[in-house]
Structure 1
Amino acid sequence: MMMKASDIMTTDVVAIRGSATVAEAVKVMKEKGLRALIVERRHDQDSYGIVTETDIVYKVTAYGTDPKKVRVYEIMTKPCIVVNPDLGVEYVARLFANTGIRRAPVIKGGLLGVISVTDILAKGDFVEKPKALLLEQLIQKAIEDARAICAAKGPASKECAAAWDAVEELQAEAAHQQAKKPEKSAFEEYCEENPDAVEARMYDT
């Protein structure tokens, strides 16, 4: 089972109003030992924001501005990228890598927590269970399933085609993680043994 964002997020999350001063934000961060605060929504259709220690240092401290005269909404990021609690941890990691962010609120209905790069490193299981290994096991299982389904339903059946789709999706995922393409997909190998399987997957585009 893949670890989810909800498994490793920090639930001790502190929200602040956008109208609060940066000085107030700094006080809360120091008291709670936090590196970021979530900025509350003004109403239900509004988005959450985030204000981080980096925002404060880069946008206030660096200019010698008085933090008592700057409001959180002037330096926050909004809307901020949010994470669904059910998202697998490696996808959170990929989201962070692709966007360059280090933390994000975890939201489903309301604010549930915050997940950060530190949470992934400290609480993730990728050291014990590297996802490449997990994926390899899933791929082998999917290939066995596909071969069994195709044996039962016939190589030209829709079920057979769908089963190989599932395999290829997993293989594409693995290739994406390793940033390389497999030499030959399991379906191509299967087709060499069962040429009529190819026809079943020629979908109308």
Structure 2
Amino acid sequence: MVKVSEIMTRSVITIRGSAPVAAALQRMLQQGIHALVVDRQHPQDAYGIITDTDIVTRALAFGRDLKRLRVYEIMSKPCIVVNPDLAVEYVARLFSNTGISVAPVIQSELLGIVTITDLLTHEALLSNPQETQLTDQIDQAIALAEQTCQTFGKQSQQCVEAWAKVDALQTEWAYQTQTRLDQTAYDAFRASNPDALKLEDYDNWCSG
């Protein structure tokens, strides 16, 4: 699973909120980038972001003077940020759900920036998608669960915990692929092994 920290750009170009928008645009053009992170005023302050789209839709579209207009007037603050340990598939889903194409990477401090271009140009994401990884993990987890139940018994804690891991992986696969699961692997196991302890029974047993 590829993390944000593996594809993000660590060198982040920033700008002050008080700077003219013209300066922000010039910096973007010089650096060949589409967004600037807006510096915080103090440690408790939130980061902001200004993009070339902001300049077009919030300034140029209304005939604003970019030399007089300030960054803080059209920036987004607080901006949407991501954790460096987040799987990149979730960043893609975040971009899709919010309509953004860039986000600062923050964990206590500004670590980098991740863009939609980073997602589209990272070879591992295209050659080894998470759907394939999850399918392999599910197959391995099912085999392990079946073996665990044979070793410790179908009523054992180990058996149920092993199938709970399968359930978690299948749930994630269903979410990632937007697929409805009519029957999980554990449901199939229960159908062929009616004496096996149910996950919900085990949860009740453990809780009290």
- Is the 2:2–2:125 Cα contact (8 Å) retained in structure 1? no
**Map of 1:111-130 to 2, 5 A cutoff?**
111-130=110-129
Q: Is 1:21 equivalent to 2:20 in the alignment?
A: yes
- The one-letter amino acid paired with 2:117 is T
Match of 1:182 in 2: 181
Please give the alpha-carbon distance, in whole angstroms, between the structure 2 residues aligned to 1:44 and 1:152: 55
- Is the 1:150–1:157 Cα contact (8 Å) retained in structure 2? yes
- Is the 2:8–2:112 Cα contact (8 Å) retained in structure 1? yes
Match of 2:3 in 1: 4
TM-score (norm 1): 0.93
**Superposed displacement of residue 48, structure 1:** 0.8
Please give the alpha-carbon distance, in whole angstroms, between the structure 2 residues aligned to 1:14 and 1:168: 43
Mind listing any 5+ residue stretches in structure 1 that lack a counterpart? none
- Is the 2:104–2:110 Cα contact (8 Å) retained in structure 1? yes
Please give the alpha-carbon distance, in whole angstroms, between the structure 1 residues aligned to 2:80 and 2:199: 40
Matched position secondary structure for 1:174: helix
Match of 2:108 in 1: 109
- The one-letter amino acid paired with 1:37 is L
Please give the alpha-carbon distance, in whole angstroms, between the structure 1 residues aligned to 2:198 and 2:174: 25
- Is the 2:156–2:197 Cα contact (8 Å) retained in structure 1? no
**Superposed displacement of residue 55, structure 1:** 0.4
Q: Is 1:76 equivalent to 2:75 in the alignment?
A: yes
- The one-letter amino acid paired with 2:83 is N
**Superposed displacement of residue 201, structure 1:** 3.0
**Superposed displacement of residue 3, structure 1:** 1.1
Q: Is 1:91 equivalent to 2:90 in the alignment?
A: yes
Over the matched positions of the two proteins, sequence identity in percent amounts to 48
- The one-letter amino acid paired with 2:7 is I
- The one-letter amino acid paired with 2:40 is R
Please give the alpha-carbon distance, in whole angstroms, between the structure 2 residues aligned to 1:156 and 1:199: 9
**Map of 1:23-172 to 2, 5 A cutoff?**
23-172=22-171
Matched positions, count: 204
Please give the alpha-carbon distance, in whole angstroms, between the structure 1 residues aligned to 2:125 and 2:145: 28
Please give the alpha-carbon distance, in whole angstroms, between the structure 2 residues aligned to 1:106 and 1:83: 5
Supply the RMSD in Å over aligned alpha carbons: 1.6
Mind listing any 5+ residue stretches in structure 2 that lack a counterpart? none
Match of 2:191 in 1: 192
- Is the 1:103–1:117 Cα contact (8 Å) retained in structure 2? yes
Please give the alpha-carbon distance, in whole angstroms, between the structure 1 residues aligned to 2:198 and 2:110: 49
